[in-house]
Structure 1
């Protein structure tokens, strides 16, 4: 890769499992059953998470 990064976005309503999916893909949590894969992500070293505090998202209050 020539220094370019790829950004992917996961959107969905509250409680739909967005954070849980990211935690599993990044290796922060383990699945109790099944599998979770994302094309191009080979493991925890291929993903980064940025948590956004609700103070920077006034519409979530």
Structure 2
């Protein structure tokens, strides 16, 4: 399932999309109008946890 949101990186909002299966597996950032793979950022706990919280909130909204 693809999800879209924004991340704050150095104070700038960056559009992102991520792929969720059982876990968040892929992360792309929109840079210069192109989607760029940034899977390595998922190794940063704060990034992964923020995306997981976003995903969990969307799941709750879907089930409401």
TM-score (norm 2): 0.32
Greater strand proportion: 2
TM-score (norm 1): 0.33
Query: Which of the two has higher C-alpha Rg?
Result: 1
Greater helix proportion: 2
